Amino acid sequence: MSNAIIPLLLDSLASAALIFFAAVGLTLVFSVLRVLNVAHGSLYSIGGYVAASICLFIASRQLNPYLSFLALLFSAVCVAAIFGPLIERGLVRWTYGKSEAVQILITFGLFLILEDLQRVVFGVQSFYEDAPMRLLGTTSVGGVVYLNYQILLIAMALLVVVGLRLLINHTRLGRLITAVVTDREMAQSIGIDTNRIFIVAFSLGVFLAALGGALATPTSGIAPGLGADTMVLAFAVAAIGGLGQIEGAALASLIVGLARVLAIYLVPSLDAVAPYAAMLIVLLIRPYGLFGSVTARRI
Amino acid sequence: MLRLDKVSVSIEGVRVLRGVSCEIIARKTTVLIGRNGAGKTTTLRAIMGLIAMDQGSVRLDADDLGSRPAYTRARAGIGYAPEDRRLIPELSVEENIRLPALALKLDRAEVARRLDEIYQLLPELHVMRSRPAGGVSGGQGKMVALGRALTVARKVLLLDEPFQGLAPALALDYARTLGELRKHRPELAMLITESSPALLDRIADRTLQIERGEILDTSTKDREFHVAAI
């Protein structure tokens, strides 16, 4: 029995980790900027494309294959450094203080542009480069074979949860972010340049999404449409966890990951529905999500 | 020191300030008196850059503040305690008071110096410094907000209706603290808004009256105080 349960658990944890990267950035950006960025999923897939391209380049030049791990991180940093400030300064900031409908329409427009941009730049064929996964190999315990890469994914997600919490609670930047989230006007009055915090928080969100996309590429490849799928899942996770909640997003990712993998093992036809069924149940019981509260929304 | 010149502000198309001109002077406590809705809070918010001006200017000495973003006010040394406190509930009292120091990148020694000064003036804050700000009473919260504003205020201190909602004993305490503050920090220019003049009689050096977004001439009031002082 345990032979079946442990890989199942590992699968769902790894899948939860990938969803978490996308969702935690979405929720972070929402809590600081109070904008729900519909284009967030596209940044996940752009991270994936960039990572896959660099990994393929490394393979084609027969460079040290271990460089591809560095490439995963590097591509996320690049995507964040380029797209973060560009999108926040160029587009999102014009929606501050506007109604949610305007914000969603504008970021949805951005989503359409980014999706087509990816088709133009990377084509419509799917990319697959699993060098990082192959390099880490497998571990066999008691006759069950594990992918070490899955364990890396889970560890990375845990690192992000702990890292973000430390950042928010114990650094200067974290304090300033907390002040901006709690009360934007007061933050300005005590000398915080809120525009800078917005750029930093948005870019951090982009980094996390792009990192998720980059880390996902070796396991599942990347193809057009990934951005939209990711966005919808990330939104479900953020809603289950409570918008703006880091630990909430982590727990919700687990729920969604588990729901998905359970569905794949037990009722494969319900695979796509399972995350939303979980969302429906949670929101019926707790309308503001697991960790959310009426005041935490602060819209 | 701080000079408003023909400041006009509209909120959702309605004129709230109509060409307000006044001066907040160093070493003086200026009290801005007016009914609810007269434009007291809006005047302070305009000084802080929290609301866009239709026209007019706000200058600190030779510095034109009006064209610069709100966060530059704190860097220029203007401290502001809003009427509704607006603390960060999950941080402790001291963390709230220290928050501007983080934003302004003050060095350790300077933070310790300012904190000392604040605790000396408001010893009750020292007693409750490690309590979460969300757990203090409304009146205590006002003291915390004053402490936080003092971390910033090198030149100007703006207090919005500090006595609003304070229990009589606390209001007396607060007034006494403001008197102490005047002695400790004589160079400070203070602007305090209030709806009833009685509470601030003792600490006011000058009184301005605001009605329907306009400052009325109150020089007579000024003279009265001079007479009283003699």
Which tens digits make up the pLDDT trace of A116-171?
999 999 998 888 888 888 888 888 877 778 889 999 999 999 999 999 999 999 99
For chain A, the structural domain boundaries read 2-297
B58 to chain A, minimum CA–CA distance in Å? 16
Select the residue from B51, B71, B84 to test the A interface by mutation, using most A Cβ atoms within 10 A: B71
- Measure the CA–CA gap between B12 and B9, rounded to whole angstroms: 10
For chain B, the structural domain boundaries read 2-229
Closest CA to A37 of A18, A23, A51: A23
The overall longest dimension of chain B from CA atoms, in Å, is 49
Q: Cβ separation of A188 and B71 shorter than 8 Å? A: yes
pLDDT band at A187 (very low <50, low <70, confident <90, very high): very high
Q: Which residues of B touch A (CB under 8 A)?
A: 48-50, 69-71, 73-75, 80, 82, 86, 88-91, 95, 99-100, 102-104, 148, 151-152
Gyration radius of chain A's alpha carbons: 19
Q: Cβ separation of A179 and B73 shorter than 8 Å? A: no
In the 8-state DSSP scheme, what is residue A218?
A: H
3-state DSSP call for residue A52?
helix
Among chain A residues, the shortest Cα distance to B68 is held by A193
> Among A200-204, A294-298, B49-53, which is the least confidently predicted range?
A294-298
Predicted local distance difference test score (pLDDT) of residue B198: 76
Among chain B residues, the shortest Cα distance to A181 is held by B88
1.10.3470, 3.30.70, 2.40.160, 1.10.150: which CATH number matches A2-297?
A: 1.10.3470
Q: Which residues of A touch B148 (CB under 8 A)?
A: 190
Closest CA to A49 of A209, A197, A167: A209
Other CB atoms within 10 Å distance of the CB of residue A61: 9
- Read off the tokens for B218: 């109150």
Among chain B residues, the shortest Cα distance to A176 is held by B103
Give the neighbor-by-neighbor strand order of the sheet with B214-216: B78-81, B156-159, B189-194, B29-33, B206-211, B214-216
Question: Does residue A295 carry a pLDDT above 60?
Answer: no
3.40.50.10540, 3.30.365.10, 3.40.50.300, 3.30.1330.10: which CATH number matches B2-229?
A: 3.40.50.300
Q: What is the pLDDT along chain B (230 residues), one digit of tens a residue?
A: 899 999 999 999 899 999 999 999 999 999 999 888 899 999 999 999 999 999 999 999 988 998 899 999 999 999 999 988 899 999 999 999 999 999 999 999 999 999 999 999 999 999 999 999 999 988 899 999 999 999 999 999 999 999 888 888 888 888 889 999 999 999 999 999 988 777 777 788 888 889 898 888 664 445 444 444 43
Instruction: Give me the mean pLDDT over the A60-82 stretch.
Output: 93
Closest CA to B78 of B3, B170, B183, B162: B3
Q: Cβ separation of A191 and B104 shorter than 8 Å? A: yes
B152 to chain A, minimum CA–CA distance in Å? 7
Mean pLDDT is highest, among A100-114, A257-271, B186-200, for A100-114
- Measure the CA–CA gap between B62 and B209, rounded to whole angstroms: 26
Select the residue from A185, A189, A245, A246 to test the B interface by mutation, using most B Cβ atoms within 10 A: A189
- Measure the CA–CA gap between A48 and A39, rounded to whole angstroms: 15
Concatenated DSSP letters of B125-188: HHHTTTSBGGGS-HHHHHHHHHHHHHHH-SSEEEESSTTTT--HHHHHHHHHHHHHHHHH-TT-
Q: Which residues of B touch A31 (CB under 8 A)?
A: none
